[in-house]
Amino acid sequence: MPLPAACLFDLDGLLLDTEPLHSEAWQRAAHSFGLHLTGEQLLALRGRRRLDCAEQVRSWIGQAGQVVPSVEALLAVRQPIAERLLPSAQPMPGAVALIAACRARGVPMAMVTSSSRMAVALKEAPHPWLAAIGVRVHGDDPALAAGKPAPDPYRLAARRLGVDPRACWAFEDSQAGVQSALAAGCLVHVLVHRDDRLAAELVPQWPSSCRLVDNLSEVVLAD
């Protein structure tokens, strides 16, 4: 296949192995307010912005009959846990090589993440290879009208690169992210987490238009 106009990368669970750490932080925060999050609930939080996740967890706490904390109170518990855990995240297999391949072939890149600018800085500090992705769309980007699963993040990334999103390859691993990239018109590569501890019946059934990969090393950029 011809080279894409650009490659648009999610961060959490796609380039860095952060999803188990995020899940642990949300689980411990929810538990402090009387709720044990199920595997299905943890999966539903993936790929979404922090404030959106907090509102969802608050809703679940209320549905469980517990006293609903404010967003601030919930995040006051969750954030210190996440900030201790996330710098330990390792690259996902094949991620470093794929970024290097894009750079070597002159394929423009953008990071399209639901994480805030400060959170990305925390996670990428041990990973200088991520600096090759100069264009970023963060969850708290002032130009962003809505986060994933809305198409806005991917459309904004393509606009900043000066390319048509329909000519881009997007790389995702979450339901929210895949929905966002598909709605923007991208060709979506889904990294399937085979080692996920969630029950097999909770793994999403991805749209047939997506390309499924078990490892980013499977992605080939033609010369």
Q: Is the pLDDT of residue 43 over 90?
A: no
Contact 196, 203 (CB under 8 A): yes
- What CATH class is the domain 6-17+89-218? alpha beta
Give the contacts of 95 (CB within 8 A, at least 6 positions apart).
14, 15, 16, 216
Q: Where are the domains of the chain?
A: 6-17+89-218, 19-87
Structural contact between residues 26 and 42, judged by C-beta atoms closer than 8 angstroms: yes
Which H or E run includes 109? strand 109-112
Asked whether residue 100 carries a pLDDT value surpassing 60, the answer given is yes
Burial-class residue 37 by CB neighbours within 10 Å (0-12, 13-18, 19+): buried
Average pLDDT over residues 107-125: 95
Mean local confidence (pLDDT), 193-219: 75
Position 199 confidence tier, pLDDT thresholds 50, 70, 90: very low
Percent of the chain with pLDDT strictly greater than 90: 84
**What is the reported pLDDT for 194?**
66
Average pLDDT over residues 54-70: 97
Per-residue confidence (pLDDT) for residue 19, from 0 to 100:
86
| Active-site annotation holds for 10 | yes
Tell me the pTM: 0.84
Among residues 10, 17, 52, 152, the one annotated as catalytic is 10
DSSP assignment of 81-107 equals HHHHHGGGPPBPTTHHHHHHHHHHTT-
Q: Is it the case that residue 51 has pLDDT exceeding 90?
A: yes
pLDDT of residue 83: 92
Just give the CATH number of 19-87: 1.10.150
Mean pLDDT value across residues 39-45:
89
Q: What is the pLDDT of residue 46?
A: 86
Query: Looking at the predicted structure, is the pLDDT value of residue 29 above 60?
Result: yes
Decide: 216 and 9 in contact? Cβ < 8 Å: no
pLDDT (average), residues 153-166: 98
